[in-house]
Chains A and B, each alone.
Chain A
Amino acid sequence: MDDKAILGADARRQFITFHSGEQEFGADIMVIREIRGWTPTTPLPHSPDYVLGVINLRGVVLPVVDLNARLGRARTEANPKHVIVVVRTGERTIGLLVDAVSDILTVRAADIQPTPELARDEQSEFIEGIAVLDSRMVTILSMERLTASLVATQTALAA
């Protein structure tokens, strides 16, 4: 978010947290449009396996991404207990398949730590930082980078 730079250490940001696989993730509440139950997707040909396909969200054709698979881990066998988090960044809207939405979290900017250099893996490109609260550790995801990567795949494939 643009206004991050001008926020002091005391500034607070709100995140929606959700579980995917074993981990707890957070996404800035400003980019979350809605949370809806899982509906079967229409598969998209020639797409990476983390792209589950598209669904009809009140007339908008929305691509749905399996977050766990996108972060380089196991694919989710989706069932009606799963949840789709609808994320809008800029002009793009996508759905993220997660296990469950857990919480709304208010975090002081100072409590968000950068990703440890050592822990670089497939997911680190989408990680904005780690929020540590008491015993919990929430991985804050950059939704901008996540949605952008979906469109950017085209050039990657074309190259």
Chain B
Amino acid sequence: MDPMEAIKQTYFQECDELLLAMEEGLIAIEAGEADGETINAVFRAVHSIKGGGGAFGFEALVAFAHIFETVLDHLRSGKLSPSGAVIKVLLRAGDVLSDHVGAARDRRALGDEHDADIKAELAALSGEEAGSDEAAPADFEGLDFTPTCIVVDEPAAQSGWKIVFRPHAALYAKANEPYLLVRELAQLGPTAVEADLTALPALDAIEPDQAYFSWTVTLTSDVAREKVEEVFDFVVGDCDLTIEPLSPAPVAVPVTAAEEFPSIAAGPVQPQEKKDAPAAHDAAKQTIRVDLDKVDRLVNLVGELVITQAMLSQRVLECRIPRASSIGDGLSELEHLLRELQESVMAIRTQPVKSVFQRMPRLVRELAAQTNKKVRLVVEGEATEVDKTVIERLGEPLTHMIRNAVDHGLETPEERAAAGKPEEGTVTLSAEHRGGRIVIEVSDDGRGIDRPRVREKAVERGLVSPAAQLSDDEVDNLIFMPGFSTASQVSNISGRGVGMDVVRRNIVDLGGRISIGSDPKQGSKFSLTLPLTLAVLDGMVVAVGDQTFVLPLAHIVESLKPRKQDVRAFGREGNLLNVRGAYVPLVDTAELLGARRAANQDGGVVILVESQGTGRLALMVDAILGQHQVVIKSFEGNYRHIDGIAAATILGDGRVALILDVDGLVASCRNRLATAETLATGT
């Protein structure tokens, strides 16, 4: 990659982090939880976004960030107080800045109308005219402005300059070096240098910190005065300097610090508090940024190691070496250490859910504005950690659930007032670890699910029969049925053509489940449970014919030995299994997956699996071989997707075993059964 392109990628990545830090800071200020450093951090975030943006020529972004930054600077200096109204404007400005970053990333232009209003509001806060973008450093030359230098009536062609330069001690104190300046002058043209040593005292009186020399440089070149002045740019104020034209000259213009820094002459510099004792207090955790590929390689290697260890253990067992031997002890110690190693490596990939949760306040603000509702978002447990792969795929379902809560769950302020509730509705987003999984809940204190309406709709759409006896819970869960919400009835906000069935599908794809609970008039609560990682899976290893498969433990309800009288033929070739009064489709896994059938037909085991949303299935297998944590290996990079197969893993003996996709299997079997039913009952 072009190095600039790579840096640009870094920049956008950094922008994402900075934008989050900025929002977090603003929210903390709003909540009154901020300290002095908070506003500094917010300022720095915007400043850094602006700085990088300038380097890439994102002019609109830079112009906007500049206005934004000016207001933050006022806030920082105390000129502006952080009232609720001010913070609201700043939060919106943050959103717009984020839009600017997004536009720059997508290489598209953001229309002026997009930020005109907020620019005006910001300008009002900073007491500046809107549209004074000229102040923004949008030029990329980095031209230093030197207001005194524009001497219009100067002769065009000079034969040269006489430069008299007497450094002060301060010049040396700042590590400037007259010799380098003279050398740089020589770059401009032929020079004659005269050193004036008259100020040099007797040797024993020399103080090393003092400056005793001065130089007169005659530069024979027609370079512009600015070029000469530029050489002394860093030392102006720390020396006496006169630059005179060699030829009959106009007036020499002494350049002084006051002229160089007009703002200083205009008013005293705002003394900024120096942060003392900077290091020790900030026990900020040391972090390093690591390429995810490197971590993944490590995860893979440890996975291999675990497999190799399992293989080794198996070989040792085959050699009939007793467990209670030094080799056995060594092996179990190895296994123990490897498990610990694996957990530590997995922990590297984990991140707090904060990174997704932090996107939600903006969403809620926008939704509140669009729906004219008053919404407070309460976020809990954002430090809860989960694998990065899970985090990455959490954003979309969460967004949907929050949209749903604000749009469908919460009532309008008027309705709420009428119902005796506070006008402001509350949406709570929380995360916690529970039993080796992460549980994320989105709840609202709105109107709850309108069960009669949901039922009516489901009947309308042919999802349930009008006569069906459904518990409250079952009614609530109808909203996850494919086809429940359709484009015609979803609102602009929740909809976008995607229903809760897609949310459920996303969650199920992650190996998770979703459920909803609701109290009429009190609100609803969506609960997601997800595995902590997508890299390993707790599985049940089963034998089917001459093959071995892995079933995800999360989907297994129970295993049982079926009795003959519990199996009932159904349709042409289907079977149903009676599990304590409920009939579940029974399938021969060998047949389903084209495995060679085992010699003895009887003595199989049935594993009852459940797919959320599509129901249960009884899978006939030959034997259960054990439960293991297996490393998930996708083969879809090298091959196509196979229906009913989720991924592969490598077993202790080094062979590949396929991991079954329970949801896919249940869906396809139920479809087949439905076809069989039509065939059996139809015509």
Q: Judge A-B direct contact (beta carbons within 8 Å).
A: yes
Q: Which of B111-119, B125-133, B198-206, B636-644 contacts A (4 or more CB under 8 A)?
A: B636-644
B635 nearest CB neighbor, chain A only = A61
The verdict on A59 contacting B300 (CB below 8 Å), with A44-B642, A45-B644, A54-B648 known, is yes
B594: contacting residue among A45, A55, A60, A153, CB under 8 A: A45
Please, how many angstroms separate the alpha-carbon atoms of A22 and B516 in the complex?
A: 63
Cα–Cα, bound, A33→B641 (Å):
24
Query: Of the 9-residue stretches B58-66, B478-486, B649-657, which lies at the interface with chain A?
Result: B649-657
A56 within 8 A of B: yes
Q: Which residues of B contact A59 (CB under 8 A)?
A: 300, 303-304, 307, 633, 650
Which of A13-21, A89-97, A100-108 contacts the other chain? A89-97
Q: How far is the CA of A45 from the CA of B657 in the complex (A)?
A: 12
Q: In the bound complex, do residue A56 and residue B642 qualify as a contact, i.e. CB atoms below 8 Å apart?
A: no
Cα distance, A41 to B657, chains bound together (Å) = 10
Known: A45-B645, A59-B650. Contact between A92 and B657, CB under 8 A?
Answer: no
Complex contact A93–B638 (CB within 8 A): yes
By beta carbon, the residue of chain B nearest A93 is B638
A151 at the interface (CB under 8 A from B): yes
A78 to chain B, nearest CB (A): 15
CB–CB A58/B656 < 8 A: no
Q: In the complex, are the beta carbons of A56 and B650 less than 8 A apart?
A: yes
How many A residues touch the partner, as a band?
Answer: 20 to 34
Residues of A contacting B: mostly:
mixed
B547 in the interface, Cβ–Cβ < 8 Å? Answer: yes
Instruction: Tell me if A61 and B644 are in contact (CB < 8 A).
Output: no
| C-alpha gap A91/B293 in the complex (Å) | 14
Mark out the residues of chain B between 517 and 554 whose CB falls within 8 Å of any chain A CB in the assembled complex: 547
Q: Known contacts A43-B595, A54-B648, A56-B650; is A63 also within 8 Å of B638 by CB? A: yes
> Once bound together, how far apart are the Cα atoms of A154 and B645, in whole Å?
14
A93 to chain B, nearest CB (A): 5
A44→B639 contact, CB < 8 A: yes
Task: Report if A32 contacts B (CB, 8 A).
Answer: no
- A46-68, CB under 8 A of B: which get 1 and which 0? 11000101111011111100000
Asked if residues A46 and B642 are in contact (CB atoms below 8 Å), the reply is yes
* A147 → B minimal CB distance (Å): 8
> Residue on A with the closest CB to B304?
A59
Instruction: Map CB proximity to A onto B577-588 as digits: 1 under 8 Å, 0 otherwise.
Output: 000000000000
Q: Is A42 an interface residue (CB 8 A)?
A: yes
1/0 contact trace for A16-42 toward B, CB 8 Å?
A: 000000000000000000000000111
What residues of A have a CB within 8 angstroms of the CB of B650 in the complex? 56, 59, 61
Residues of B within 8 A of A40 (CB): 655
Q: How far is the CA of A40 from the CA of B657 in the complex (A)?
A: 12
- Asked if residues B638 and A61 are in contact (CB atoms below 8 Å), the reply is yes
Complex: how many Å from CA A150 to CA B639?
6
Establish whether residues B637 and A92, one from each chain, have CB atoms under 8 Å apart when the complex forms: yes
Separation of A112 and B303 alpha carbons in the complex (Å): 45
- The reply to whether the CB of B405 lies closer than 8 angstroms to some CB of chain A is no
In the bound complex, how far is the Cα of B654 from the Cα of A24, in angstroms? 32
Question: Among the interface residues B640, B641, B642, which one has the most CB atoms of the partner chain A within 10 A?
Answer: B640
Instruction: Tell me, yes or no, whether B569 is within 8 Å of chain A by CB.
Output: no
Nearest Cβ on chain A to B634's Cβ, whole angstroms: 8
Report the Cα distance A42→B633, complex, angstroms: 14
Q: Is B369 part of the contact surface with A, judged by Cβ < 8 Å?
A: no
Complex contact A151–B307 (CB within 8 A)? no
**Are B637 and A56 in contact (CB-based, < 8 A)?**
no
Extra contacts besides A53-B656, A92-B638 (4): CB < 8 Å: A44-B639, A46-B594, A46-B642, A54-B648
Ranked nearest first, the 8 interchain pairs of A and B with the lowest CB-CB distance are: A154-B640, A61-B635, A42-B656, A45-B593, A63-B639, A59-B304, A61-B648, A61-B633
